[in-house]
Amino acid sequence: MAPAGNAYDEARAGQMWWPKYKMQVVVAALAVLIVGGGGAIYWATRIPASPFDRTAAASSTDLPGRGEYVARQADCVACHTVEHGAPFTGGLAMGTPLGAIYSTNITPDPETGIGTYTLAEFDNAVRRGVARDGHRLYPAMPYPSYAKMSDEDIQALYAFFMKDVKATRHENRPSDIPWPLNMRWPLAFWNIPFVDPHPFQPDLARDERWNRGAYLVQGAGHCGSCHTPRGLAMQEKALDQSSDSYLSGALLDGWYAPSLRDDPNTGLGRWTEADIASYLRTGRNRHGVVFGSMLEAFNNSTQFLSDEDLGAIAYYLKSLPGDPKRDGTPWRYQATGASSRAPSDGEKIYAARCGFCHGTDGLGRGPWISPLAGATSLLAKQDASAINIALNGSGRVVHDGQPDSYRMPPFRKLLDDREIADVLTYVRSAWGNTGSRVEPSDVSRLRESTNPSSPDVLILQMR
């Protein structure tokens, strides 16, 4: 056993070590923090490598025709052009929980647009979310989906913008997000877990048609941006069919984007491939008419796709299984016959305001006025779309340059919150529909946060 004095001396020597080397330890720790922090900032702000170089940029200028078709697939015009604005000059406001952000000028103007971008820099912006100067783009630009686009499509898209789009000077508007929340470099770390930087890889176990549909849906079409639920970090919970949450439906800007999976009630389970293709080609089918954000996608994008591509999209979507636990018992039509009971307030409002167009049987007036019996917006647990369209009506469907003569009118000035809640509760429970009750408070909230749909014909030009 060591003498007590020796143990005391050893303990005292250990206590004396810190004052003697304190400065060296602090300096070393600061050095590690500075080097590590500097390395992290460099990594976060670096411009990623691109498979393209300046030679490729020069040789790609013979592809503008194909690039225009790719631009239709990606629906670039819907976000980068505003009503009465020059094509692709930006300025569209997009709300976020932190403040509005605004789309940018993507014409080949050298000062306010992308006129000085090389193909590599254009590629980094579209597929990596990194601008020419290295700042990160907000993922309102759907680069997590565009990352799957092929090199060939990126080359064609670049050629279209540089050769066929008119260069227009238009200053970009900064976001309304306050400092320091508007700093972009943290997005580089957001990208690590939530963005797959690799282009689409065909599934060799599937045929060519399925792979073409998957490529369009997952990539340029960026269907998941609206139809896939998001996590706590506002990321899409899945980017392809490897997860059952992919395209399973999501709330978005006062609308509920329904499931695109084979769910019979709230998805595409009762739709055939021909139904899907017709909806994307003409804006309507026997089940419904485009509305909400899908109206913009149809007016500016899907109707311009080839029959082959629309068929491939439909083929791919019909391969995605539904979830019986999520969707419940499949809907079946039930006629609403005469009853000795007094009609509810909602039923009275329906008879006075809605029945002429949609029919007392809820079957609509096809092909122009959609049925309410079995409508996905009425069967969904989320009632946002039903409330929104009742309050604000629908915009004008424009097919082949011709505006639709029929549109759902807004009822926000004709009916109060309780009346809209009552009539929606009725139609969500009539004709075999199994939607839940609508509360006046939910109507009030959407009344305050949304605006009536415009009756104007809006056709966004790309040239």
CA geometry: angle 86, 91, 93, nearest 5 deg: 140
Mean pLDDT for the stretch of residues 279-302? 95
Binding residues for heme c: 76, 79-80, 223, 226-227, 354, 357-358
Residue 342 has pLDDT above 80, yes or no: no
Tell how strand 398-399 and strand 402-403 pair up: antiparallel
Residue 81 has pLDDT above 90, yes or no: yes
pLDDT of 8 reads: 53
Q: Who has greater pLDDT, 32 or 437?
A: 437
In whole numbers, what is the pLDDT of the chain averaged over residues?
Answer: 88
Is the Cβ–Cβ distance between 442 and 383 less than 8 Å? yes
Q: Where are the alpha helices (DSSP H) in 164-318?
A: 187-194, 208-218, 224-227, 273-282, 293-300, 307-317
pLDDT band at 122 (very low <50, low <70, confident <90, very high): very high
Binding residues: 76, 79-80, 223, 226-227, 354, 357-358
| Model confidence, pTM | 0.88
pLDDT of 10 reads: 54
Highest mean pLDDT among 50-59, 145-154, 331-340: 145-154
Which residue in 67, 39, 46, 248 sits closest to 128, CA to CA? 46
Mean pLDDT for the stretch of residues 419-445? 96
pLDDT band at 32 (very low <50, low <70, confident <90, very high): low
Q: Is 1 exposed, middle or buried (0-12, 13-18, 19+ CB in 10 A)?
A: exposed
pLDDT band at 340 (very low <50, low <70, confident <90, very high): very low
Residue 94 has pLDDT above 80, yes or no: yes
Q: Name all contacts of 284-288 with Cβ < 8 Å and 24+ positions apart.
A: 284/367, 284/368, 284/370, 284/397, 285/367, 286/366, 286/367, 286/371, 287/370, 287/371, 287/374, 287/375, 287/376, 288/370, 288/371, 288/375, 288/376
10, 182, 219, 234 from 7: Cα distances, Å: 5, 58, 70, 58
pLDDT of 459 reads: 61
* CATH code linked to domain 202-330: 1.10.760.10
Residue 62 has pLDDT above 80, yes or no: no
What is the crossing angle of helices 64-74 and 151-163, to 10°?
Answer: 110
Please say whether the structural domain 334-463 has been given the CATH code 3.10.450.230.
Answer: no
- The per-residue pLDDT for range 366-386, each reduced to its tens digit, is 778 999 999 999 999 999 999
Q: Is 193 exposed, middle or buried (0-12, 13-18, 19+ CB in 10 A)?
A: exposed
The values of phi and psi at residue 93, to 5°, are: -80, 135
The region of weakest confidence among 112-116, 179-183, 329-333 is: 179-183
% the chain with pLDDT above 90: 72
Residue 60 has pLDDT above 70, yes or no: no
The region of weakest confidence among 35-44, 161-170, 361-370 is: 35-44
